[in-house]
Structure 1
Amino acid sequence: MTKAISIALIVGGIVLLYFGGQAFNSVSSDVSRVFTGSPTNKAIMLIVGGVVATIAGLTGMALSGRRR
């Protein structure tokens, strides 16, 4: 994995985490938590996607540095 792709994954993951946090604290997520006990699926998917993308980017950076 090239460094450019790894950096793009890290940046994209951070953006997804930001929007996931915003969705987690939204009014619709609060209403969902009242009735179901869990936040909206959108918030969960954004946070999970952000974590996966960030970990993939960090792993790619670590492996690309090791090959030299």
Structure 2
Amino acid sequence: MNNKILGIVLIVAGVALAFWGYNIYDSASSQVTRALSGDTPIEAWAGMVGGAILALVGLTRLK
């Protein structure tokens, strides 16, 4: 039972973190930076990749 609750919490946190990372990636300042230099903020990558990893770990806890 505890593993399922932990899995659900990890999935919710992972989705929220990925959504936050995408919001940073899609922000106006990030778009200007990408247009001028081609760089993507590290916070965006960390949020999206970290969120995906958390969600995958959460999915493995549900089984």
**TM > 0.5 fold call:** yes
Question: Where does structure 1 lack aligned partners over 5 or more consecutive residues?
Answer: 63-68
Q: Is 2:37 the partner of 1:51?
A: no
Residues 15-46 of structure 1 deviation map (CA, whole Å, 9 limit, x = unaligned): 01111111110012112212332321111110
User: Could you say which structure has the larger radius of gyration?
Assistant: 1
Q: TM-score, normalised by structure 1?
A: 0.80
Q: TM-score, normalised by structure 2?
A: 0.85
Aligned length: 62
Aligned-residue CA RMSD (Å): 1.4
Moved over 3 A (4+): none
Which segments of 5 or more consecutive residues in structure 2 lack a partner in the other structure?
Answer: none
Q: Is the contact made by 1:21 and 1:47 (CA closer than 8 Å) also made in structure 2?
A: yes
